[in-house]
Amino acid sequence: MAKIADRYFTTDPWYVIEEGFNPEYSQVAESVFSLGNEYMGLRGYFDEGYTGKSLTGNYFNGIYGRQEHTPSAYKGIADSTEFMVNAVNWIYTRIYAGDELLDLGKSSFSGFRRELDMKNGILSRSFIWTTSGGNKINLKFERFLSMKHVHIGAQRISITPLGFDGEIRIIAGLDFSEPHQSFGQNFWDCSDIKTDDGHLSILGTVKTTGQKLFSSCRFSGDFYDKLISQKEISVNEKAAAREFTVQLREGSETTFVRIASNLACQDMEGEAYQLFERQRSHSGEELKLLDYEVLKEENISWWNKVWNKSDIVIRGDELNQQGIRFCIFQMFQTYHGAKKGTNIGAKGLTGEAYSGNAFWDTEVYCLPFFIFNNPEAAKNLLIFRYVTLPEAKERAGSLDCKGAFYPIATISGRECCNLWQHASLQLQASTAVAYGIWFYEKITGDKEFLLEYGLPMLVEICRMLATRGSWTEGGKKYGYYCVMGPDEFQMMVNHNCYTNYMGRFTFNYTLKVLDELKNQASDSPTEVGRNLADKERSDELLHTMGLTADECSEWSRMADCMYIPYDNDTQLFEQHDGYFKLPHVDIGSIPVEDFPLYHHWSYDRIYRNDMIKQPDVLMVMLMFNASFAEETIRRNYEFYEPRCIHESSLSPSVHSILAAQIKKHAEAYEFFKFATRLDLDNYNRNAYEGLHTTSIAAAWMNIVYGFGGMRSDGSELSFSPSVPNGWDGYSFRISYRNNVIFVDVSRENVTFRTSDDTPVSVNVYGKPIVLGREAEIVPIPLEWRG
Amino acid sequence: MAKIADRYFTTDPWYVIEEGFNPEYSQVAESVFSLGNEYMGLRGYFDEGYTGKSLTGNYFNGIYGRQEHTPSAYKGIADSTEFMVNAVNWIYTRIYAGDELLDLGKSSFSGFRRELDMKNGILSRSFIWTTSGGNKINLKFERFLSMKHVHIGAQRISITPLGFDGEIRIIAGLDFSEPHQSFGQNFWDCSDIKTDDGHLSILGTVKTTGQKLFSSCRFSGDFYDKLISQKEISVNEKAAAREFTVQLREGSETTFVRIASNLACQDMEGEAYQLFERQRSHSGEELKLLDYEVLKEENISWWNKVWNKSDIVIRGDELNQQGIRFCIFQMFQTYHGAKKGTNIGAKGLTGEAYSGNAFWDTEVYCLPFFIFNNPEAAKNLLIFRYVTLPEAKERAGSLDCKGAFYPIATISGRECCNLWQHASLQLQASTAVAYGIWFYEKITGDKEFLLEYGLPMLVEICRMLATRGSWTEGGKKYGYYCVMGPDEFQMMVNHNCYTNYMGRFTFNYTLKVLDELKNQASDSPTEVGRNLADKERSDELLHTMGLTADECSEWSRMADCMYIPYDNDTQLFEQHDGYFKLPHVDIGSIPVEDFPLYHHWSYDRIYRNDMIKQPDVLMVMLMFNASFAEETIRRNYEFYEPRCIHESSLSPSVHSILAAQIKKHAEAYEFFKFATRLDLDNYNRNAYEGLHTTSIAAAWMNIVYGFGGMRSDGSELSFSPSVPNGWDGYSFRISYRNNVIFVDVSRENVTFRTSDDTPVSVNVYGKPIVLGREAEIVPIPLEWRG
């Protein structure tokens, strides 16, 4: 089952480089060279078109199509799916020399080089095209998406004829005709097509949802000075395009620049739509004011700030150095809190796999990264769950529960998972929201968020948990029956350790917040209380939620009686009631060709033994690390690790982090190995369909929580850094309460300092230390040296 | 949850009578007045057409369409469904007086009466039609399906004008254009349409499967003497029809007779197809030789033989008398062994619900009836499973098992169940085949069948059972994980009591048969051995199956270690491992409007408690009754009965039979109450979509096994009759080893006799008795008097 690298790109600490073009990797490269700015995503396909294998993918966060299913005879089974729909190709370009179309699938070319500059967020490409007549033309392409004005993207093409003068034709357009590849259909209706001299625009409407996308662009550059003619041209019925004929001069570079504005309207009612119409009517003027170089400078400065706050440096291991920067770069590309009410799809904005659906990966994989790098983005991710609370309440109703049941897979907040067994049995999307609120509040101390957004969600999740669970043994035990925990290889089980644990946590945390809120009017107000403007507001909050003392005391009783399967003698938590009695499978004996099991084993066979896909019990031990003794972690690790086949991409990171904690340093590195380069080296052989965006976040956790030994669930931050054998050292930095903590780990010492004067109390190797701007050097104890 | 009768038909011991026509009941009446002869089924719709609610249904056993699904990403999930397709309306008739079409949905009529004569198997209908001009015409319709020539059906229409002379037009046709109602589509391509003077014919081909149905008919009757004109007429593109104009004379009856031949070809390859083509080319001649009255007499005599061997008489309860005869009538209509290789759909040949699919109902509900009434039919039902062994082996392969995995729902032998959770987790279809073989062999002693057909199936089922199960506790326990037992309210459980018990039974029975076979060449040959012509044959059999001693000893070890969950203290069998720990639901507290639960409860909610749909443990206790002490049965009955909601229609009968055994006589009658009249009184309010054919068999078991107290699983037949309070007495008869045993139960005595001189040893109320032609009178012990 060992994963094997399929390395294609050149290693470099700051760039991803493709030297020479291999068509076999065309789609992998498209994914890896994807640009994104949360609002939109643009795969790294060739601007000028390409007849080889390609997914000309453009995706807009929250813009989706809907597919209806035959309604089920059973209640609570979703009857439609939503998918992020492939949208406008706004860099559509065709380049002709005479009648000859440039097409790297057919044309002759040399000196191909493509570079993703992660430091500055810019993708560039260059090559020399040799026409059939033997003329050589040097072409350079550059593109970026504005991080400041997220609906804006920019393209620059530079053309230099080598050793000849000649005419060239450039067709540039906005094209909605690309099919949504996974369905083989196009889902757009187009209207309002305009093709004025320097300005194109087109309005697209998603057929099944009515959502709108207004795309427009403006051309500039010195090609205008060399223009022979230009005209409107019809490329297809769903495109706006113009053709420019330009006179090129030998050795002289001509630049063609486009700035595009893509305005997406998710919600066709109320303010959002009005805003969209207003922006749309001003977009022509807006485009006139934007300048390529200014936008580019803004972007460079935006990315420099990111690296100042979030860079990870690995010394002596350039592969992982490039890999981890690629991960950090992708995280910020995918989401940085530009907009409330959107989420992160499993593939980000880089492909159609998983239909652009967001999973609970957001709260468990991605949120820790954002909390320690971009707390505002973390908050906005949680606000997505607040905005979609009505849908979660509706879903709870259809599952015969009160409160809110968050979807397993979603774009708009509605359940999009077609498999009832996942959609109806997995409670972890809901408890992950509670976990995310707790985590965010704990690290940021943002009580205002907690009251305004967090508490209403917590209360509704508790209501669901109080109606989905059951009492047994005459009211002595409470827990969840017929659930599927994060480990999807145990389908329909009772008292799943993770589910029950998270249920108890959610009740207890919510009750604690409520208690603090109620105490706000007392003589010695709590922190939550102090944060409230007045008692009136707290009363109103409680009143709105309709909470009674009886309801709270029921939750309290449920939390107290929550059954967590545990064996006192062995200190082992049982993954679910009866797990220890399951038939044992020696996973080492499963032939390599049986993987992935879903394709090679009969569906039901996967569920009939003690093999697990990812470790539920170890997951709890990572999330609530401070609650477990090291010896307990060691025992459970040693029991569950040999039973886990890691078909979930988070699984190796969980193992790596805990292995480091129990000083299995070699094993920790073994599990870390491909974390940073999962997509760069195409370990899963499916990078062509998009990046494993949410898994990417795990690579960050792997370094900060794993080797850095950071823990954030206790009363204060703690660190127990270790250094993998092959590394000279590494450093990382985290944002923490308006401060940045820098951690540099050499083979002998750990050096801490902060960006700000405010002292930060932390715990290092079990001892309290106060950090400040002055470097604090702590020698690494022997047992942590691996 | 009490079921309430919706009585519409007139009570009579031998007839089902409809006096006056209520359009509200039109489709219920169509189902109840369905005719069938195993080969084909004809709903009781009006010959002349009807614009009110109607399902013009004609079904042919084994003639089906196929629907393809989106292939699943997972292995072992069926990607197509087969459904018995609505076929030719071969009694198609339209009757015009002038331009006025007879249509009981619009016409004025009086004196409507419809009668199903169960004694003779004939359906008749009569009424007086008053035309808009005020003319009155007396119409009589009669129809039957030949039980001797199963592809033949007959229709007779008698027309008498009252008080006037006049012309009438009759259009008669063979019409393939009716839609398959549950899909709203027609699935036939038609060709070879011929409309000669006295003879119509048409060839239909099922679009998705290519199966063929050749329908032809011949007209006769004295209408020919009064014919003014006749002509070919085009009714639609998928029909062959002729129009006859006839001069009617006041007061004089004119008859119009049609004999139709419908030849169905299931298999388009090899001999079956050649036979079909041969029969088809001769059908014109065949029809010329057939006479309505002769066919009718043959049918009457066929049915008389049935009643002589299989009648049940209930004295003092005309409702149940009519009900039980309706059940027996339907059983013989649906199946009587005319053809090997077909099965019984859940709705017989009376409607489209359940897609005409056969379930394991055949082996557990229907087989006992046929074994004791028509052993040849029982054998043919089992041969269906032999014929479809290749499909069951293929299915096992797709489920990663060796051997044969029989489908949960099927027509052709392939799995047709769309719900993977049923299709992949239910092993009871396979073990029911083993049970059926055992039951049939036990009662009939048919060793030839056992060797030729039974053993190859048993071996392949054992191979499946040996690869689907798992060992636990270091090889100490064997059993089945992730199964759904007959009780479909506990979906994915381990060590289901029924499944494990049946697995053990199947291993043990197969090993016993194999042992007997191996001993055939020994000095003292066993019964199986004697039945073999020679050792060569037995060696060949064993060789063909490729059985090794190791394989058999593995089965033996699996049987020995099979885990049957049981609590010694309480004598309770646990329905599955962990069942006793499930949250308890007081099913009495579930509001009536929540039923049926599948429509009103969230799908997963059904599975989260100790509520059961039907009683797995009690089922085992009925099937292997002799293996359980009465006290054990009582305790388990008292535990499981209050947990059962009887959403399966077999469930009440199992309870009734066991309640009688443990002398809960009132309860036994309570559970029996609607068994015989489930469809006649439309208890489930869905008789309109077809009869509950397989449930009907349970009514028979309810009387013979329940009140008759017959047991057939011990070393000899035994009886412990009781009499329900309201009854004066009852009698039943069973075929047993070329003998018929008559059992008459009065309030005080039971009288036994046999049809034949061969003595039959039985056990009555625990005492051995030898039965013969002379009446044997046994007083009913007090405890059995209710």
SS3 string, B155-213, reads EEEEEEEECCCEEEEEEEEEECCCCECCCCECCEEEEEEEECCCEEEEEEEECCCCCEE
User: Considering CB atoms only, which of B424, B583, B602 is closest to A75?
Assistant: B602
Per DSSP bridges, beta strands B254-265 and A40-42 are: unpaired
In chain A, the residue whose alpha carbon lies closest to the alpha carbon of B75 is A602
Q: Angle at the Cα of B542 (from B536 to B544), degrees rounded to 5? A: 100
pLDDT at B531 over 70: no
What confidence category does residue A291 fall into, taking pLDDT thresholds of 50, 70 and 90? very high
Q: What is the DSSP string of B734-776?
A: EE-SS-EEEEEEESSEEEEEESSSS-EEEEETTEEEEE-SS-E
Residue pair B1/B595 in contact (Cβ under 8 Å)? The answer is: yes
Angstrom distance (rounded) from CA A786 to CA A777: 19
Q: Which residues of A touch B471 (CB under 8 A)?
A: 583
Angstrom distance (rounded) from CA B756 to CA B740: 7
Angstrom distance (rounded) from CA A180 to CA A83: 10
**Cα of A79 to nearest chain B Cα, Å:** 14
Helix (H) or strand (E) holding B545: helix B535-545
pLDDT at B542: 81
* SS3 state of residue B322: helix
Q: Which residues of B touch A424 (CB under 8 A)?
A: 602-604
User: Considering CB atoms only, which of B72, B471, B492 is closest to A583?
Assistant: B471
- What are the two backbone dihedrals, phi and then psi, of residue A699, each rounded to the nearest 5 degrees? -65, -40
What confidence category does residue B599 fall into, taking pLDDT thresholds of 50, 70 and 90? confident
- In a mutational test of the B interface, the residue from A70, A417, A602 whose CB has the highest number of chain B CBs within 10 Å is A602
DSSP label at residue B522:
S
**Cα of A477 to nearest chain B Cα, Å:** 10
In chain B, the residue whose alpha carbon lies closest to the alpha carbon of A469 is B608
Alpha carbon distances (Å) from B394 to A523, B400, B414: 76, 10, 9
pLDDT at A529: 55
DSSP label at residue A612:
B
Contacts 24+ apart (CB under 8 A), B163-167: B163/B135, B163/B136, B163/B250, B163/B251, B164/B135, B164/B136, B164/B250, B165/B247, B165/B248, B165/B249, B165/B250, B166/B97, B166/B98, B166/B135, B166/B247, B166/B248, B167/B97, B167/B98, B167/B228, B167/B245, B167/B246, B167/B247, B167/B248
Residue pair A505/A434 in contact (Cβ under 8 Å)? The answer is: yes
Helix (H) or strand (E) holding A239: strand A239-248
Catalytic residue among B441, B488, B516, B689: B488
Among the listed residues B693, B628, B688, B631, the one whose alpha carbon sits nearest the alpha carbon of residue B662: B631
Render the burial of A477-486: b for 16+ CB within 10 Å, e for the rest.
Answer: bbbbbbbbbb
pLDDT at A69 over 90: no
Residue pair A622/A657 in contact (Cβ under 8 Å)? The answer is: yes
Taking the alpha carbons at both ends of chain B, their separation in whole angstroms is 25
Residue pair B416/B410 in contact (Cβ under 8 Å)? The answer is: yes
For B114-168, how does the pLDDT look when each residue is reduced to its tens digit (9 = 90+)? Answer: 999 999 999 999 999 999 999 999 999 999 999 999 999 999 999 999 999 999 9
What is the count of residue pairs from A and B with beta carbons less than 8 Å apart? 113
Q: How far does Cα A560 stand from its chain's mean position?
A: 35
* SS3 state of residue B426: coil
pLDDT at B772: 96
Average pLDDT, rounded, for chain B:
95
Q: Within an 8 Å CB–CB cutoff, is residue A85 touching chain B?
A: no
Q: Within an 8 Å CB–CB cutoff, is residue B331 touching chain A?
A: no
Mean local confidence (pLDDT), B540-562:
93
User: Considering CB atoms only, which of A420, A600, A607 is closest to B482?
Assistant: A607
Q: What's the token pair of residue B360? A: 């394991």
Angstrom distance (rounded) from CA B520 to CA B450: 14
* SS3 state of residue A88: coil
| Inter-axis angle of helices B375-387 and B455-468, nearest 10 | 50
* SS3 state of residue A493: strand
For A488-508, how does the pLDDT look when each residue is reduced to its tens digit (9 = 90+)? Answer: 999 999 999 999 999 999 999
User: Considering CB atoms only, which of B76, B398, B578 is closest to A577?
Assistant: B578
Mean local confidence (pLDDT), B461-487:
96
In chain B, the residue whose alpha carbon lies closest to the alpha carbon of A477 is B583
Count of alpha carbons within 13 angstroms of residue A453, beta-carbon side: 24
Among the listed residues B428, B571, B565, B577, the one whose alpha carbon sits nearest the alpha carbon of residue B505: B428
pLDDT at A631: 97
**In one letter, which amino acid is B236?**
N
What confidence category does residue A674 fall into, taking pLDDT thresholds of 50, 70 and 90? confident
**In one letter, which amino acid is B264?**
A
A420/B494 touch (CB, cutoff 8 Å), yes or no: no
Angstrom distance (rounded) from CA B147 to CA A625: 77
In chain A, the residue whose alpha carbon lies closest to the alpha carbon of B583 is A472
Q: Within an 8 Å CB–CB cutoff, is residue B481 touching chain A?
A: yes
Q: What's the token pair of residue A267? A: 């919600």
For B613-670, how does the pLDDT look when each residue is reduced to its tens digit (9 = 90+)? Answer: 999 999 999 999 999 999 999 999 999 999 999 888 789 999 999 999 999 999 999 9
Residue pair B52/B104 in contact (Cβ under 8 Å)? The answer is: yes
Among the listed residues A525, A650, A784, A680, the one whose alpha carbon sits nearest the alpha carbon of residue A33: A680
Angstrom distance (rounded) from CA B417 to CA A550: 46
What confidence category does residue B684 fall into, taking pLDDT thresholds of 50, 70 and 90? confident
pLDDT at A278: 96
**In one letter, which amino acid is B376?**
E
**Is the sign of the CA dihedral A700, A705, A710, A711 positive or negative?**
positive
A607/B577 touch (CB, cutoff 8 Å), yes or no: no
Among the listed residues A109, A113, A111, A112, the one whose alpha carbon sits nearest the alpha carbon of residue A132: A109
pLDDT at B79: 86
- 3-state SS string for B620-653: HHHHCHHHCCHHHHHHHHHHHHHHECCCCCCHHH
DSSP label at residue A359:
-
pLDDT at B535 over 80: no
Alpha carbon distances (Å) from B785 to B501, B519, B721, B726, B779: 33, 48, 9, 12, 10
Alpha carbon distances (Å) from B320 to A696, B665, B682: 71, 17, 14
Mean local confidence (pLDDT), A637-663:
94
A399/B605 touch (CB, cutoff 8 Å), yes or no: yes
Helix (H) or strand (E) holding B278: helix B270-289
* SS3 state of residue B659: helix
Looking at A574-715, which runs of residues are DSSP E strands?
A: none
Q: Which residues of B touch A473 (CB under 8 A)?
A: 581
Q: Given the structure tokens 């009969």, which residue do they identify?
A: A602
Angstrom distance (rounded) from CA B519 to CA B535: 9
Angstrom distance (rounded) from CA B397 to CA B412: 17
Q: How far does Cα B397 stand from its chain's mean position?
A: 29
pLDDT at A684: 86
User: Considering CB atoms only, which of A77, A494, A582 is closest to B603?
Assistant: A77
- 3-state SS string for B32-44: HCCEECCCEEECC
- What are the two backbone dihedrals, phi and then psi, of residue B424, each rounded to the nearest 5 degrees? -95, -25
Angstrom distance (rounded) from CA A666 to CA A725: 8
* SS3 state of residue A116: strand
CB atoms within 10 A of CB A71: 10
Render the burial of A139-156: b for 16+ CB within 10 Å, e for the rest.
Answer: bbbbbbbbbebbbbbbbb
Mean local confidence (pLDDT), A291-312:
97
**Active site positions of A, annotated:** 488
Residues 583-642 of B with CB under 8 A from A: 583-584, 598-605, 607-609
What confidence category does residue B526 fall into, taking pLDDT thresholds of 50, 70 and 90? low
Q: What is the DSSP string of B439-459?
A: HHHHHH--HHHIIIIIHHHHH
Q: What's the token pair of residue B559? A: 């049987």
Q: Within an 8 Å CB–CB cutoff, is residue B491 touching chain A?
A: yes
Helix (H) or strand (E) holding A42: strand A40-42
pLDDT at A70 over 90: no
Q: Angle at the Cα of B187 (from B184 to B192), degrees rounded to 5? A: 140
What confidence category does residue B2 fall into, taking pLDDT thresholds of 50, 70 and 90? low
Q: Which residues of A touch B401 (CB under 8 A)?
A: 602
Among the listed residues B57, B4, B58, the one whose alpha carbon sits nearest the alpha carbon of residue B27: B57
Mean local confidence (pLDDT), A289-299:
98
Per DSSP bridges, beta strands A739-746 and A749-754 are: antiparallel
Angstrom distance (rounded) from CA A643 to CA A646: 9
**Which of A207-216, A392-401, B195-204 bottoms out in mean pLDDT, i.e. has the lowest?**
B195-204
